[in-house]
Structures are given as structure tokens and as C-alpha cells.
Amino acid sequence: MLRVAVLISGGGSNLRALLEASADAGYPAHVVAVGADREASGLAHAEEFGIPSFVVPWRGAGEREAWGAELDAQLAAWQPDLVVLSGLMRLLPPASVRRWSGRLLNTHPAFLPEFPGAHGVRDALQSGVRETGASIILVDDGVDTGPVIVQERVPILPGDDEHALSERIKLVERRLLIDVVRRISTGELDLTAVR
């Protein structure tokens, strides 16, 4: 059983989808812990599913290294095989990226390398393109620059606002995330071959 830790900042709807998938006895991965950089409302999903959670409060960019070290220590206690950044709105320090390198995933609401950064949905809408997407990547030291594991296009529909588009993208993100974690667990997907 692959051990998965998930880090969030917000509502955690993608986390919830993974928790629901892993509640199925046939699913080969298990969420062992959920962490956050604040008292995120999404932590309630962990509680509902009986999964332990922890908060390492963000203390400002000047303390990124110390924050990351504390986060690493909390994560390490759960011995995760995989760490999924699922809406964590902070950049991990390089030491943390190195520590979890090769098993650190991020979900991003755009077709990377298009529209990286914190406002991928808004940026796509404002640019006037007709489609954007969802990506799951391996995290490296850059901002959404790591190798793409899987991605899928999502159309932008007339009348879409940021909320509507974001919700439609998240439907795809959830499906991709559940499938990627499953394929990593079964060995069908080899992350060392992703570059």
C-alpha cells in the first residue's frame, strides 16, 4: 500500500476526492496524513475520514527554510512514499524539494508550461485563449517548472468566470490525480522515467 501525504492551503476538494478513492479497499494507495500551512478548511476532510493532520503555520518568506524544515519533520513522521501538493499556496524551500525529490507531486490548474504560478486560471481567462488545462507535475526548484507527469486540455466556455472554470478544471485534476497515484502505486507509472 503506497503511503501518500497531502499538503493543502484551502478547501481541499481534490484532497477529498483522493480520500474518497482511497477509502475503496481496491485502491492501492492510502492517505496517511494531511498537512497545511494554515488552519485550512480542507483539514475537515481529513478529520471526517479519520486521517491525522497537522498545521505548520507560515511565518513569512524570511522564515521559509525554517518552515520547510518543520514541515519536513512532520511529513517524515508519516513515512510517505509520495507527497502531493494539492493546492498548497506556498513555495517549498529548496531543501524540502531536494528531500522529497522524485516523489513530490503538484497539481496545477493549467496546461503547463502555459500559465504557471498562483493565478493559472485567471491568467488563462485574461489571455483570451479558448482552452487551458490541468497538469500534474513532479516538483523541482522552479515555480511549476517540473516535468509533466500527465496533463489534459480543458475548454474555456463562453461566460466562464474564474470560479466556473476553476471548478471544471478541478474535475479533471481529481480524475488525473486519482489515476496517477493509482498507477504509481501499482508500478504501472515509473516516476524515475518522467523527465
Of residues 13, 119, 152, 179, which one binds ligand GRF by CB under 6 A?
13
Q: Does 185 bind ligand GRF (CB under 6 A)?
A: no
Of residues 22, 53, 86, 96, which one binds ligand GRF by CB under 6 A?
86
d(CA 47, CA 23): 14
Of residues 6, 21, 37, 42, which one binds ligand GRF by CB under 6 A?
42
Helix axes 120-127, 162-186, angle to 10 degrees: 130
Min CB(141)–ligand GRF separation in Å: 18
Grid cell locating 94: 529548496
Local structure of residue 112 (DSSP, 8 states): T
SS3 state of residue 125? helix
Min CB(136)–ligand GRF separation in Å: 9
Q: Given the complex with ligand GRF, which of 10 and 28 has the nearer CB atom?
A: 10
Q: Does 116 bind ligand GRF (CB under 6 A)?
A: no
Of residues 4, 5, 14, 100, which one binds ligand GRF by CB under 6 A?
14
Q: Does 146 bind ligand GRF (CB under 6 A)?
A: no
What is the number of other CB atoms lying within 10 angstroms of the CB of residue 125? 19
Whether 119 is a known active-site residue: answer no
d(CA 179, CA 174): 8
d(CA 193, CA 35): 28
Single out the segment in contact with ligand GRF by CB under 6 A; choices: 13-21, 29-37, 57-65, 139-147: 13-21
Half-sphere exposure at residue 127, Cβ-oriented, CA atoms within 13 angstroms: 14
Sign of the four-CA dihedral 60, 64, 67, 71:
positive
Residues assigned a catalytic role: 108
Binding positions for ligand GRF, rule: CB under 6 A? 8, 10-15, 42, 86-87, 107-109, 170, 173
